[in-house]
A and B are shown apart, each in its own frame.
Chain A
Amino acid sequence: EPEVTQTPSHQVTQMGQEVILRCVPISNHLYFYWYRQILGQKVEFLVSFYNNEISEKSEIFDDQFSVERPDGSNFTLKIRSTKLEDSAMYFCASRPFAYYGYTFGSGTRLTVV
């Protein structure tokens, strides 16, 4: 069964450093997303990406965050200057036109120290 692949599974970084989280969505999917889940809290939407541009973003997705789909297969989330409160599980997701194909990756645990 096709799956969304995320790397790395765990990343530890120092506060103020830049991190790039990588995702390979399912190949025939059209919409791409990043979500995050702070420990013990709900899964929160960060950003959606369609047709090579951001289609929607949340208040969390400020100027420190950016997304890119550099080569038609990878989908990346960059955090320019990490803060302690950025520590969370980050999930990539993708879907075809229909919602029922909305598939999540297994996540990257980001720990900012």
Chain B
Amino acid sequence: DQQVKQNSPSLSVQEGRISILNCDYTNSMFDYFLWYKKYPAEGPTFLISISSIKDKNEDGRFTVFLNKSAKHLSLHIVPSQPGDSAVYFCAASGQGAQKLVFGQGTRLTINP
């Protein structure tokens, strides 16, 4: 059951540049999307979310874009900092559903 997919298991970006993490979904009933950041041996930490009625949401260095027709969302981090190195999970939920469905995660490494 791969309703949410993050096809890049890892991404390496130079400090100060833009990091773009991608996520695709298959379930058209999903209407809320979240990005989480996770360090080893810690729980996922909420970063940013977007409702399906929007196509963009921005919070500081983080921007999430949603393309509903393509069932695709992306997280942009500008500028990337060494502390951004972590695993990033995309998650989705559908109206009335309680659970989040997670992607497999992308390990982001920011190189100095």
Contacts and interface: CB of A to CB of B under 8 A. Distances in A.
Interface of A: 4, 6, 31, 33, 35, 41-45, 48, 50, 55-56, 58, 89, 91, 93, 99-107, 109
A99 B93 contact: yes
Interface residues of B, number: 22
B43 A50 contact: no
Contacts, number: 58
Contacts of B89: 42-43
Interface string B94-112: 0001111111110000000
Nearest to A104: B43
Contacts of A107: 41-43
Contact of A58 (B41, B46, B93, B99): B99
A5 to B, nearest CB: 11
Given A91-B43, A99-B49, A45 B103 contact: no
Given A99-B32, A100-B34, A44 B43 contact: no
A109 B41 CA distance: 8
